[in-house]
Amino acid sequence: MGKLIRLLVVVAAFGLVAAACGDSDDGDTGADTSAATDTETEAPTTDDTEASEEPATDADDDAAQDFGDPVTINFGHPFPAQHPIQAGALEQWAADVSDATDGTVTVEFFAGGSLAPAPQTYENVVAGAQDVGWALQGYTPGRFPVTDVIEMPFTFTSAQQATDVLWTLYEEFPEFQAEYADVKLLGMWVHDLGDLWIAEGKVESLDDIDGLTLRAPSPVQNAVIEALGGNPVGLPAPELFDSLERGVIDGLFIANSGLSSFNLYEVLESGVECNCYVAAQFLVMNLDTWNSLSPAQQAAVEEISGRNLSTNAAVVYDGAYDAAAARVVESGIEKVQLSDAELDRWKEATQSVIDDWISSNSADFPTQEMYDRMLELSAS
């Protein structure tokens, strides 16, 4: 009996094995449907693939954000720390640099010429004595003959307009770009419109300028003052208040915002609204410092610098111009408005400055073409 039972168990087992083999090989719709159902109920193949690719994308993002070692960059300039460009544009730029580089690049400001006096700021950056510098090109006479085109008199109506023209000239003329080949150019803009300001009395015509001693901010404006009949002198901006108060100078050419930066309202009696000039300013980094940054750091800094940063600085300057105009009225300073005919006299008198710039530099770069292009851009 026991043997019979064991025989029946073996036969049953073989039957089950045979049935199982038949299901596995079956091309029946039921078997196919079962396989399809399994495929559909397990997450779709496309989703699985995308899910498996996401970690690779994250890894790529992490690699792109590998900014390298932290670095602190010193930034020196000759202006007061409360200057509207530091307060209104460059401090935000420094914060943006830190954010964009995940805190790996820190910009530390050194204002008031603590790293170098104004005339040495650019060369100090070139030599690596400081990492970043901001100043006027006009503080280094003869160093920027191409950029001097932007200072030709009576051309612009706002800092934004002039800055836009400046960048277009820089982008279109290789000679302009070559002028900054020894640094990394981070920004370039102009200050707000510069006018003539007088300590005592007033100037209402070209004849009134004859013999006046006037502070000029740059070599180009030296030539402009001479052409107008004045005697130009160079003075550092921090000496302007005392020089006006003591009668060392009769007046000065200065951007309207400079009245606030150097608190000149109480030592001026009048001004002339002539839109006489603008002057270029640079923001540059030492090349070795630039090359020491990681590629990711460089890309982040470039993204928030250049033309966009420069436009922001020009916007700040135009706002400072408006604020200064209000304070001029509040301070009781009379602002003379020249008639069109009188302004034409000033323009005619200073045409020689333009002609001299064109002729003296024509062997080195296309001065006439550049000047004509500047007028075309400023008129558009």
pLDDT for 211: 96
Query: Nearest-5° angle of CA 275, CA 341, CA 357?
Result: 50
For the stretch 181-219, pLDDT in tens is 999 999 999 999 999 999 999 999 999 999 999 999 999
Confidence of residue 86 (pLDDT cuts 50, 70, 90): very high
pLDDT for 34: 33
pLDDT for 64: 55
Asked if 265 contacts 197 with a C-beta cutoff of 8 angstroms, the reply is: no
Domains of the chain and CATH, by start? 69-147+181-189+280-318 (3.40.190.170), 194-278+330-379 (3.40.190.170)
Categorise residue 157: left if φ over 0, alpha if ψ from -120 to 50, beta otherwise: alpha
Residue 282 has pLDDT above 70, yes or no: yes
For the stretch 356-379, pLDDT in tens is 999 999 999 999 999 999 999 999
Confidence of residue 144 (pLDDT cuts 50, 70, 90): very high
pTM reported for the whole predicted model: 0.81
Average pLDDT estimate for 126-154: 96
Average pLDDT estimate for 145-171: 98
**How do the residues of the chain divide into helix, strand and coil, expressed in percent and rounded to 5?**
55, 15, 25
Phi, psi of 77 (to 5 degrees): -150, 165
